[in-house]
Each structure stands twice: as structure tokens, then as C-alpha cells.
Copies of this chain bind each other. A is one copy, B any other.
């Protein structure tokens, strides 16, 4: 029987929502059973950084060659340096039956959605939504322009979440982590995945 392919898990959300903090907490847990996707970059290694551990360090030419040949799941340029997700590493890990976890900006997530539609997309939502909700439900003690600005921001965020499978509110880091772990565990029980395994087994694969 062939080994079940791993899940590609993409965590994203608006900037400032706390994606990095949640990701660090997830990987500090003793029972994390997914691999962190290592990015490629053209920036120089800092002291103590290792190639293939912290980043795949590339020259600008090598990085652009990767872009050309479709070797990146997504990429972007910040402050003169390229950053991107190498497809080969992700595919090798998934093929080995291990889940891959990616924490990424919304623009990168949108690129991945197009290339890997069967990945699991989790949107980390700001905790202020609840606060906003409470305020809107209250008796108008905030000035109208503040409410309007918050509503405008919330509307933008609602539109951003429409490409995602799950929305996790980051009210507390440990709650957000619990929800993300539950989502990953649940996804492994989805009938489509399990049924495929049963059918393959019955066929003696």
C-alpha cells in the first residue's frame, strides 16, 4: 500500500495578527508532527544561520533561475532580497507522508492557492474582531469615525479570508494553537482522504 501523502498547511492572515508568534508556539510543542517549510532567500546568512536549516541560501542568479523554471510555490521581494518557498523541498516532504507547515504573508498564500488548491488554508484573524463586535453591539460610545475605520478594516479582512478553508481567531496564542492542531487532526480524518486509503488497501496497493 502506498503511503498517504502529507498535507500542505498554509497559515496566513493580515500583517500584525501574530502569525510568527503562533508558528513559534506550535513548533515549540513536544508533539508537533509536521515539518516547517524552509524558505529560500538571496539575503546573506547571519551568524549561526545554516544553509538547509534556517534558509536555503541562493545567489540572485540561482533564485531567478528557480523562478523561471517554476521551482517556487510562491515568492516575493523585500528590501532588495528575494524570499520564496522551494517546491522541491515541499514535494519531497509531502511524498514522504509528512505534513508541511508554511507561515506566510497573504500575497504568498494567494499564489499557493492557485498552484496547490488541495492545500489546507488557515486564516489567522485578529482578536480585535471580538472587541469590535462588542463595541458595535454596545450603545455607540465610540465616535462614528473610529467605528467606520474599524468596520472598513474588518470588511477588508473578511474579503481576504474568502480564499481560506478555516478561520482561527487569535484571541490567545494557546487557543489559536489548539484550534490549528484540531484542524490538522480533523483534516486527516476527512472521509475523502481515509476512503482513498481504504480503497487502495482493498485493491491491494
Contact = CB atoms under 8 A, between A and B. Distances in A.
Interface string A142-164: 00000000010011011001101
Copies of the polypeptide in the assembly = 2
A154 B123 contact: no
A79 interface: no
Interface residues of A, number: 40
A195 B158 contact: yes
B204 A191 contact: no
Contacts of A139: none
Contact of A155 (B136, B167, B191, B202): B202
User: Does more than half of chain A's interface fall in helix, strand or loop, or is it mixed?
Assistant: helix
A101 to B, nearest CB: 16
A20 to B, nearest CB: 20
A1 to B, nearest CB: 6
Given A137-B1, A202-B151, A165 B191 contact: yes
A95 interface: no
Contact of A166 (B132, B154, B191, B204): B191
A67 interface: no
A191 B123 contact: yes
Contacts of A187: 186
A21 to B, nearest CB: 18
Leading 3 A-B pairs by shortest Cβ distance? A186-B186, A182-B185, A167-B194
22 contacts: A1-B133, A125-B194, A133-B201, A136-B204, A151-B202, A154-B198, A155-B202, A158-B199, A161-B194, A161-B198, A162-B191, A165-B190, A166-B189, A166-B190, A167-B195, A168-B189, A179-B189, A181-B182, A182-B183, A183-B186, A183-B189, A185-B186
